[in-house]
A and B are shown apart, each in its own frame.
Chain A
Amino acid sequence: DTAVSQTPKYLVTQMGNDKSIKCEQNLGHDTMYWYKQDSKKFLKIMFSYNNKELIINETVPNRFSPKSPDKAHLNLHINSLELGDSAVYFCASSQDEGMTQYFGPGTRLLVL
């Protein structure tokens, strides 16, 4: 009965590969987010979707493409992975914009 789930929890891959991280929330929330936490533990928003529509698209390389097939899912696809993409990626959701956000457990990505 996990509220916000992410898969996989860990992802180790070679430079240049393409990978996806999936996020699902069973809270009935309208808004979902992707955050990146770097090695210094600094969190930064990447994308936000509200009702399957892109709301925020921060200065993120276009190798990162979010996809929201429905309100409960927001997946993150990364093309041509680079060493600097190594980080922990957190998905979150909220009832609506401006409401308390609920975070997933994070996906630790390591690019070799």
Chain B
Amino acid sequence: KNEVEQSPQNLTAQEGEFITINCSYSVGISALHWLQQHPGGGIVSLFMLSSGKKKHGRLIATINIQEKHSSLHITASHPRDSAVYICAVSPADFGNEKLTFGTGTRLTIIP
């Protein structure tokens, strides 16, 4: 069992829908990252958070440290949001430089 689990693995939605991707982890962490991998392969870091909530444009990331759970939300989804979204954690007992990755959620937004 991975230390980082994401759900769903695949998600297809209509343009405009509100999207939620979930990430659960089983270890103590110092930070959690959300990454976006485009169809061409490039990876972009979206958020790094250790508590609460962060917002950037139509993207919102939340984390509940007690429940070891984070969610990534996309409001007013658009076909250009189609990508693989990856959750990664920095284990607390190691130091922030090591990331353990989830297997990713493939999001497809249909026009």
Using a CB–CB distance below 8 Å, which chain A residues touch chain B?
Answer: 31, 33, 40-45, 48, 50, 55-56, 88, 90, 92, 94, 97-103, 105-106, 108
Chain B, interface SS category: strand
For B, the interface residue count at a CB cutoff of 8 angstroms equals 24
A41 to B86, CA, bound (A): 10
User: B96–A40 contact, CB under 8 A?
Assistant: no
Using a CB–CB distance below 8 Å, which chain B residues touch chain A?
Answer: 30-31, 33, 35, 37, 41-45, 48, 84, 86, 88, 90, 95-101, 103-104
State the total of A-B contacts with C-beta under 8 angstroms.
58
In the complex, chain A residues whose CB is within 8 Å of the CB of B30 = 98
User: A97–B43 contact, CB under 8 A?
Assistant: no
In the complex, chain A residues whose CB is within 8 Å of the CB of B101 = 42-44
Which of B44, B84, B95 is within 8 Å of A41, CB to CB? B84
A11 to B33, CA, bound (A): 29
A44 to B35, CA, bound (A): 14
